[in-house]
Structure 1
Amino acid sequence: MRLLVLGGTSFVGRALVADALRAGAEVTLFGRGRTGPELFPGVPRRIGDRDTGDYTALRKGRWDAVADVSGYVPRHVGQAMDALGDRVGRYLFVSSQAVYVRTGVAAGADEDTPRRPPVRDTEELTEETYGPLEVACEDDVFARYGARATVVRPGKVVGPHDAQDAVTYWLRRAARGGRVALPGRPEQPVQVIDARDLARLMVRLLTDGRPGAFHAVGPAEPTTLAGLIHTCARVAGSAVDLVPAPADPAAPLPLVRPGPQ
């Protein structure tokens, strides 16, 4: 499989490239060349910039599939699709669970769960706009590629090279042990997925040519915020005493952050 990865050197993209290479794919990277230039020696790189709209490097070449892990607003996705046209077989877009409506969703909801209304009049990524912007990106990919479009909607992604402090904060705090102030509800259900598992799923979807939208969440067994923190403490060889604390109702939940994964 000839695979073009838009991004590919930071967290999810990095895990995807590593897994694709292990699976024998011929990978090409597209990005600014500033993050991880030492990674994946020998892998061809096309230099461009999504923010300035410079996709000139993609005007030539053909690929069996493209994996877009760097598009977060419709302009990014639209310009990439315009540059690639029909010279790619399948377009896989990494979206987010943030596309779904926030209320009235029952446990076990599937990919047909109602999504939030799309937003196209801003490029500012906030708690309120991130999901609707992803909805607009999804719609554009499906409209352009139809049965050749694949959308993956991860939950909270964790694992090696995670630059965010959402889960890693709780890992470090649990390792110290003792009394831990916990904003929010200890019984709050949480779902996380390791970036390496997410990468394996995406490579499989591309290899099999699977169209449509797919959840990417875990673990297989239900867990809660308190359960996750206790598990972190147990693995670290410590013990914690969780102390519920009042949470700012305007703040995101402890494991939720807007913006790129």
Structure 2
Amino acid sequence: MKLLVLGGTHHVGRAIVETALERGDEVSTLNRGLSRDPAPGVRALLADRTDPEAVRWALDGQEWDAVIDTWAWAPRVVRESARLLAGRAGHYGYVSSRGVHRWPWPAGADEQAPLVDGDPGGSDHADYAAAKRGGELAVLESFGERALLARAGMILGPYEDVGRIPWWLRRLEKGGRVLAPAPARTPLQYLDVRDLAAWMLSSAERGLSGAFTVTGPPGATTLGDLLTTALDVTGFATELVWAPPELLLRHGLPLGMEFGLRMLDGSVPTGMHDADVSAVLAEGLSTRPLRETLADTWAWLQAEGDPAPRADAPSPDTWLDAAAEQRLLDQLTR
């Protein structure tokens, strides 16, 4: 395909670009050109997406088979891009989020679960759920049945910049005893970023449209599987000390929130890790083994170092206060 990626330098965008190049697609990217040099073989178009005239100038006179957009902020930016590209591209894939569903998410929810309100012309991105829903509506305005809305769940794998697996790997790297949020059998539902990229590109090629919940199958792995596999693939000499959620809450330690396993008040949310993904699996989504995701994430961190955190992501110190952790470890291991 002749592909345009709006973004293309971080996390999902970078995975999409690399996967497209591996497929042999002809890839153009549009971004400010400030974060990373374009990958070899990529045609880099430069513009600030918040400047409609700059975007119009950068895209002038060009056409693509498909566009993939990773924008996560003000929906009006998506609307302006989609309107500009409506007559120049056959397909528009938008990386959305399960967050567009109204909270609390029902257990076993599929694509029909209630949605939040969104404004396709909105300029605010403080409300992530409303911004993503506004972005969806903006794409549908211009592309209609040529639009694919990928409502992603928890995305892991190389290039992650939202503070989940990189944070845990660096924490486990220190060795010794570390707290983990019990119970170890807690189910996790996630998707490797490269599997998301491959599915979106294949779907663009086929002209697949509609809204899909895009994450891995429920019940496939647990928190214990994730952390013990991380120790296995890295070889760290670290002991996991599992602490009950109520004890973590009492000590002011929000461990588990990084995976959506509990809320600030200690309550356990429903629907986070049991989404019905039968629709996306029927449309060809495939998922790689957990071991591969974790090993490749660790290899990337070793090669490139820790990524700069996203402005809308929690700080690395959010999940754990070292002094509070040590006090609880001492209590649990007396």
TM bucket normalised to smaller: 0.7 to 0.9
- The whole-number CA distance in structure 2 between the counterparts of 1:222 and 1:230 is 15
CA distance 1:79–1:185, change in 2 (3 Å): farther
CA distance 1:259–1:151, change in 2 (3 Å): farther
Larger Rg: 2
1:218 to 202, 213, 216: 216
* Correspondence 1:89 to 2:87: no
3-state secondary structure, aligned to 2:257? coil
- The whole-number CA distance in structure 2 between the counterparts of 1:191 and 1:201 is 17
Give the drift of 1:176.
Answer: 3.9
Give the drift of 1:204.
Answer: 0.8
Structure number having the greater helix percentage: 2
3-state secondary structure, aligned to 1:20? helix
Compare 45-54 and 235-244 and name the one that shifted more: 235-244
Give the letter for the 1:84 counterpart: L
- The whole-number CA distance in structure 2 between the counterparts of 1:130 and 1:3 is 27
CA distance 1:70–1:136, change in 2 (3 Å): closer
- The whole-number CA distance in structure 2 between the counterparts of 1:183 and 1:77 is 38
RMSD between aligned alpha carbons? 2.8
* Correspondence 1:42 to 2:41: yes
1:246 to 242, 245, 249: 249
Residue in 1 that maps onto 2:326: none
Residue in 1 that maps onto 2:50: 51
Give the letter for the 2:141 counterpart: A
Task: After TM superposition, list the pairs within 5 Å mapping 1:135-154 onto structure 2.
Answer: 135-154=133-152
- The whole-number CA distance in structure 2 between the counterparts of 1:100 and 1:258 is 23
Compare 81-90 and 223-232 and name the one that shifted more: 223-232
3-state secondary structure, aligned to 1:254? helix
CA distance 1:40–1:149, change in 2 (3 Å): same
3-state secondary structure, aligned to 1:135? helix
Which sections of structure 1, spanning at least 5 residues, go unmatched?
none
- The whole-number CA distance in structure 1 between the counterparts of 2:92 and 2:68 is 6
Residue in 1 that maps onto 2:159: 161
- The whole-number CA distance in structure 2 between the counterparts of 1:89 and 1:154 is 22
Compare 234-243 and 200-209 and name the one that shifted more: 234-243
Given that residues 177 and 240 in structure 1 are in contact (C-alpha distance below 8 angstroms), is that contact kept between their aligned partners in structure 2?
no
Task: After TM superposition, list the pairs within 5 Å mapping 1:2-151 onto structure 2.
Answer: 2-37=2-37, 39-53=38-52, 54-55=54-55, 56-107=57-108, 109-118=109-118, 123-125=124-126, 129-151=127-149
CA distance 1:48–1:251, change in 2 (3 Å): farther
Number of residue pairs aligned between Structure 1 and Structure 2: 255
- Can you list the C-alpha shifts for 1:119-149, whole angstroms capped at 9, x where unaligned? 5655233xxx101211111122122211100
Compare 116-125 and 25-34 and name the one that shifted more: 116-125
3-state secondary structure, aligned to 2:259? coil
Structure number having the greater strand percentage: 1
- The whole-number CA distance in structure 1 between the counterparts of 2:253 and 2:100 is 21
Given that residues 100 and 116 in structure 1 are in contact (C-alpha distance below 8 angstroms), is that contact kept between their aligned partners in structure 2?
yes
CA distance 1:28–1:252, change in 2 (3 Å): same
Compare 42-51 and 86-95 and name the one that shifted more: 42-51
Give the drift of 1:182.
Answer: 4.1
**Identity rate, percent:** 35
* TM-score normalized by the length of structure 1: 0.85
- The whole-number CA distance in structure 2 between the counterparts of 1:104 and 1:151 is 18
Which sections of structure 2, spanning at least 5 residues, go unmatched?
261-309, 314-334
Compare 244-253 and 159-168 and name the one that shifted more: 244-253
CA distance 1:121–1:186, change in 2 (3 Å): farther
